[in-house]
């Protein structure tokens, strides 16, 4: 028996659901790359990316690349072989970024925070104060670690660096967080920020974005790791195609333009609030299921649980069986545990183009699977999610009055 023949729900933390409007925006003939409307699309996307990153003083760059490409662009534009960076190792992705830095010849030191806790800004301040000679050139961190689902306080790390009186650049991976929660590059003291198209930005994979602030642009001048493709200076050339070091990824840009329009139309504060509400609904459900002792939140401190994805640890059963039931029987694709939780967890994404029925449907299917598979769990997780949303999102009070006015107007 299968109940999967309907619209599939993709609940993995990237790539995320691409809105039909974005797909439709891409469905058009290729265009000329030196002049014409694409030049304006590039200009407006670069400008709007700065707004999304929260920078007025910085510059933005678009790469035909995934997030790993944006990582490499960030590293090679500001660092030299033998430079030292401090990786704030909370979860999996900052460690991977550090491994890439080591690969290109940078010395890497990790401040280890484990897989279940966020970055402790006080530890960063202490480490930087001890670096009297200023050998640490940059601090690398991730805002939301998509493996552990921890959300770090980037602003607090920016303050810690300032409090230490240290000159290290602050480089932040916002790949799983931009357009899901606030990000304020200038206000938080961030020098380099990176993201990708396929998470909060609701666009197919294939675009990497980097924003560089004044201190990063200064460091860029003497960076020894620069290569032709990633180089910021080369991308400042007068010809449009130089912005991409070759043929622009036109159709992805058409899609991105539409996605950014949708985000601004909804309004960023509303986008962030939608993510917070759907994430909290998910957490209410997981909290109830966890009463059965087979499931538990990965992130220990509630305040450090992200609004993009929720990682759930499982005990006493193979999470693949749960994922298979959700996918094969119900058409809901959940994320698998990765890193330390490979084979030991699931990830429920609530990032990008998601709404209440998609999340309630996903949660309903998980609870159904827990029941069908006989996995111990507290019952009523979906009810808890529904109750939370019903209280947090009241009906517009104006509605009944308008109905009454309408009835009057119709002489009823
Ligand atoms: C997805 C992700 C990446 C990697 O992005 P790719 O596009 O797969 O290269 C890096 N960091 C974080 C936090 C991510 O969520």
- Domain ranges for the chain, please list them: 9-15+267-392, 31-264
Over residues 101-160, the pLDDT tens digits come to: 999 999 999 999 999 999 999 999 999 999 999 999 999 999 999 999 999 999 999 999
Nearest residue by C-alpha to atom 15 in ligand 1: 176
Indicate if 31-264 has the same CATH topology as 9-15+267-392: no
Please work out whether the CB of residue 67 comes within 6 Å of at least one atom of ligand 1.
Answer: yes
CATH topology of domain 9-15+267-392: 3.90.1150
d(CA 241, CA 64): 12
411: which 2 tokens? 């002489």
Q: State the DSSP code for 305.
A: B
Asked if residue 15 has a cis previous peptide bond (ω within 30° of 0), the answer is yes
Please work out whether the CB of residue 63 comes within 6 Å of at least one atom of ligand 1.
Answer: no
What's the CA-to-centroid distance between 175 and ligand 1, angstroms?
6
What's the CA-to-centroid distance between 61 and ligand 1, angstroms?
17
What's the CA-to-centroid distance between 2 and ligand 1, angstroms?
33
Contact 181, 151 (CB under 8 A): yes
Among the listed residues 296, 310, 280, 294, the one whose alpha carbon sits nearest the alpha carbon of residue 370: 294
Over residues 213-259, the pLDDT tens digits come to: 999 999 999 999 999 999 999 999 999 999 999 999 999 999 999 99
CATH of domain 31-264: 3.40.640.10
Please work out whether the CB of residue 194 comes within 6 Å of at least one atom of ligand 1.
Answer: no
What's the CA-to-centroid distance between 34 and ligand 1, angstroms?
31
CA dihedral 334, 210, 258, 268 (to 10 degrees): 80
Burial of 263 (0-12, 13-18, 19+ CB in 10 A): buried
Q: What is the pLDDT along the chain (412 residues), one digit of tens a residue?
A: 999 999 999 999 999 999 999 999 999 999 999 999 999 999 999 999 999 999 999 999 999 999 999 999 999 999 999 999 999 999 999 999 999 999 999 999 999 999 999 999 999 999 999 999 999 999 999 999 999 999 999 999 999 999 999 999 999 999 999 999 999 999 999 999 999 999 999 999 999 999 999 999 999 999 999 999 999 999 999 999 999 999 999 999 999 999 999 999 999 999 999 999 999 999 999 999 999 999 999 999 999 999 999 999 999 999 999 999 999 999 999 999 999 999 999 999 999 999 999 999 999 999 999 999 999 999 999 999 999 999 999 898 755 555 666 667 776 5
pTM above 0.85, yes or no: yes
Length of the chain: 412
Residue to mutate, 175, 180, 206, 309, ligand 1, most ligand atoms under 8 Å from C-beta: 175
Please work out whether the CB of residue 60 comes within 6 Å of at least one atom of ligand 1.
Answer: no
């Amino acid at each position: 028996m299968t109940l999967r023949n309907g619209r599939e729900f993709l609940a993995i933390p990237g790539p995320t659901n691409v809105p039909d409007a974005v797909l439709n925006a891409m469905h058009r003939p290729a265009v000329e790359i030196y002049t014409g409307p694409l030049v304006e699309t590039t200009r407006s996307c670069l400008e709007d990316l700065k707004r999304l990153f929260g920078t007025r003083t910085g510059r933005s760059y678009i790469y035909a690349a995934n997030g790993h490409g944006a990582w490499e662009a960030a590293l090679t534009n500001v660092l030299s072989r033998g430079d030292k960076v401090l990786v704030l190792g909370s979860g999996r992705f900052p460690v991977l970024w550090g491994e890439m830095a080591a690969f290109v010849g940078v010395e890497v030191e990790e401040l280890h925070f484990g897989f279940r806790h966020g970055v402790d800004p006080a530890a960063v301040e202490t480490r930087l104060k001890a670096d009297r000679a200023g050998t640490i050139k940059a601090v690398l961190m991730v805002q939301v670690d998509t493996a552990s689902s921890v959300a770090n306080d980037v602003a607090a790390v920016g303050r810690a660096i300032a409090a230490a009186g240290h000159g290290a650049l602050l480089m932040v991976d916002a790949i799983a967080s931009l357009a899901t929660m606030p990000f304020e590059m200038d206000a938080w003291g961030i020098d380099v920020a990176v993201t990708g198209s396929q998470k909060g930005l609701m666009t197919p994979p294939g675009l990497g974005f980097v924003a560089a602030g004044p201190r990063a642009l200064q460091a860029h001048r003497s960076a020894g790791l620069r290569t032709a493709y990633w180089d910021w200076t080369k991308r400042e050339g007068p010809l449009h195609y130089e912005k991409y070091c070759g043929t622009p990824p036109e159709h992805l840009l058409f899609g991105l333009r539409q996605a950014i329009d949708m985000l601004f139309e909804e309004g960023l504060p509303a986008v962030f609030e939608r993510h917070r509400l759907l994430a909290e609904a998910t957490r209410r459900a997981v909290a109830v299921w966890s009463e059965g002792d087979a499931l538990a939140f990965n992130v220990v401190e509630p305040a450090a649980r992200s609004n993009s994805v929720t990682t759930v640890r499982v005990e006493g059963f193979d999470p693949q069986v749960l994922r298979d039931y959700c996918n094969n029987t119900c058409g809901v694709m959940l994320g698998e545990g990765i890193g330390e939780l490979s084979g030991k967890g699931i990830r429920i994404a609530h990032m990008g183009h998601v709404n209440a029925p998609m999340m309630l449907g996903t949660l309903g299917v998980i609870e159904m699977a827990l029941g069908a598979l006989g996995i111990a769990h507290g019952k009523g997780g979906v009810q808890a999610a529904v109750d939370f949303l019903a209280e947090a999102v009241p009906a517009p009070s104006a509605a009944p009055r308008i109905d009454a006015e309408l009835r009057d107007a119709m002489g009823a």
